[in-house]
Amino acid sequence: MKARGIIAGIRHLPRSGAGPGSAPAPLRPTGLKSVCLLLCSCIVLFALSGAVAREAGRAPKEGVETFRINIQRLQEGIATQQEQYLEATNQEKTLLQELEELDHRLAEQVARLETLEGKLSAQQALITVQELEMAAVRAEKDKVQRHLARRISAYYKMGNIGLLNAIFSAQTLPELLRFQDAFHTLIQYDQNVVVSYRKSIANLERVTRSLVLEKNILSDFIAQTVTEKENIDATKEKKEQLLQHIRTQSKLHRQAITEMEQAATDLTASLLALKKKKEAGEQGFRRRKGALPPPVPGTVITGFNQMTTNALGIKKKSEGIAIESPSGTPVKAIFPGTVIHAGYLRGYGNTIIVHHGFQYYSICSRVEKILAAKGDEVNAGTVIGELGETATLIDKGMYFEIRHRSDSLDPMLWLDTRRLQSPGRNPG
């Protein structure tokens, strides 16, 4: 509980046990304040471990509910990261399928390109053969044509067979006529050969043009295939870059999930530790029930819930006990805790209140000297005050009370009564 809340409660302490004030009022506790902030977000994933450690350090002051809220927020963050991780995994699978299809298409294009290039090479070989054949035919035609030209020239030089040729020739006229017919037949044969060569050349030129056309078509197919292959390569490269990006994101989501799960585990451990500490704190004071040392040695002159009358004649029921002890006796803390009030309190005089944790309090009033200050940490046996005669003029004995929250408890059930005396009885 916060010290300010305790002080607010102290002002309403019951004025019992020989105090001159009005009717008693219960101590008002204040609740634990949850001031822990959200430890985890996707932006600060890598700071979770330190944040969890800080949370664990503040755990005793901030309460269980804050840890539960933070754990719930971490679990929500984990769920979000898992959704994003699953989405990235699905995208990765889709991209892998697309890349597999692209690889298949790329292999087809490469095979097609190899086939077309093979056909182009074969076509070029055919064109070369046709061109060589056509060159040979042209050469043979030119040779025959030159031979024919010489025959025709000789034929015209010989001229027609006339009277003079028949008279002056060594050959007879029939022989001359047979020679002329034979010569004419040779010329006609040579002309036919030349025509045949021209037809062959024309056929070869036509075949060559056809082969060149097919070669050009194959070249176009090859260019188109190369373009398609380049497009597929570019698409594949982009897909691979996207796949790498998605894999990086997937890795980050997986890392975020791991760190957030670790943070949730740490918070859960801190929550369990807080619960155990709370239980141990409550049980620590509770386990000492019946064995706590009294704040001062002496005689119990007023019991719990006993009706008393003080020097002013005011009767009231005591919510604690009064212990009579010699002047100068030191007042000691009964259990470790924090001093939350050390000063004058109306109706009680000088009062020291120690918070022992988990809303267990011990109250020592009618103290002559206060030797502790607000905020001091004390242990069992720490001297926090001193008794005197002036403080007990109206009400006899040092007033002592134990409270849990706003409930007054019987100190005799909590103190080691063997260290105290009752009227007519010596300490055991």
How far apart CA 187 and CA 156 sit, in angstroms, is 11
Helices vs strands, H then E, count in the chain: 6, 14
User: For residue 226, what is the enclosing H or E element?
Assistant: helix 173-287
Q: Classify residue 426: in a domain, yes or no.
A: no
Closest CA to 137 of 82, 91, 204, 78: 204
Same-domain status, 174 and 232: yes
Q: Which of 268, 287, 306 is the last residue of a domain?
A: 287
How far apart are alpha carbons 26 and 363 in whole angstroms?
13
**Which is more confidently placed, 254 or 180?**
254
Question: What's the structural domain count of the chain?
Answer: 2
Q: Assess whether pLDDT exceeds 50 at residue 318.
A: yes
Instruction: Phi first, then psi: give them for residue 334, nearest 5 degrees.
Output: -90, -15
The pLDDT score that the predictor gives to residue 246 is: 80
Is residue 99 classed as helix, strand or coil in its secondary structure? Answer: helix
Q: Are residues 283 and 306 in the same domain?
A: no
CA contacts within 13 A on the Cβ side of 297: 8
Domain CATH for 58: 1.10.287
| Dihedral sign for Cα atoms in the order 59, 65, 69, 75 | positive
Least confident among 61-65, 94-98, 282-286: 61-65
245-249's contacts with Cβ under 8 Å and 24+ in sequence apart are: 246/88, 246/91, 246/92, 246/95, 247/88, 247/92, 249/84, 249/88
* Cα separation, 264 vs 324, whole angstroms: 55
User: Per the confidence metrics, is the pTM higher than 0.75?
Assistant: no
pLDDT tens digit string along 280-303? 656 678 889 999 999 999 999 999
The answer on 315 and 268 residing in a single domain is no
Residues 140 and 22 in one domain: no
Phi first, then psi: give them for residue 228, nearest 5 degrees: -60, -40
Whether residues 246 and 303 share a domain: the answer is no
Pick the last residue of a domain from 253, 287, 321.
287
Q: Which of 178-182, 272-276, 338-342 has the highest mean pLDDT?
A: 338-342
Which tokens sit at 106? Answer: 């790329």
How far is it, in rounded angstroms, from Cα 164 to Cα 11? 174
Taking the CA atoms of 302, 308, 314 and 316 in sequence, report the sign of the dihedral they define: positive
Q: What percent of the chain has pLDDT over 90?
A: 23
pLDDT value of residue 20: 33
Is there a single domain that holds both residue 76 and residue 17?
A: no
Task: Note down the domain range covering 374.
Answer: 3-30+292-421
Q: Which pLDDT does position 329 carry in this prediction?
A: 95
Closest CA to 335 of 301, 370, 300, 287: 287
Count Cβ neighbours within 10 Å for each residue of 199-218 and write b for 16 or more, e otherwise: ebbeebeebbeebeeebeeb
Which two tokens mark 381?
A: 């046996």
**Residue 428 is assigned to a structural domain of this protein:** no
Task: Answer yes or no: do 263 and 378 share one domain.
Answer: no
Over the stretch 197-212, which tens digit does the pLDDT of each residue have?
788 778 878 877 887 8
Q: Are 204 and 135 in contact (CB under 8 A)?
A: no
Residue 311 has pLDDT above 80, yes or no: no
Same domain, 233 and 298: no
The last residue of one of the domains, among 250, 265, 287, is 287
In a domain, 427, yes or no: no
Q: Verify that 232 and 258 share a domain, yes or no.
A: yes
Shared-domain flag, residues 250 and 395: no
Arithmetic mean of pLDDT, 183-207: 77
- CATH assignment at residue 332: 2.70.70.10
Q: Are residue 168 and residue 249 in the same domain, yes or no?
A: yes
Does some domain include residue 57? Answer: yes
Q: Is residue 248 part of a domain?
A: yes
Q: In terms of domains, do 243 and 351 share one?
A: no
Q: Is 97 helix (H, G, I), strand (E, B) or coil?
A: helix
Higher-confidence residue of 322 and 262: namely: 322
Q: What is the pLDDT at residue 36? A: 36
Are 269 and 392 in contact by the 8 Å Cβ rule? The answer is no
- Least confident interval from 44-48, 164-168, 332-336, 359-363: 44-48
The rounded radius of gyration (Å) of the Cα atoms in the chain is 60
Residue 67 contacts residue 55 (beta carbons within 8 Å): yes
67 pLDDT above the threshold of 50: yes
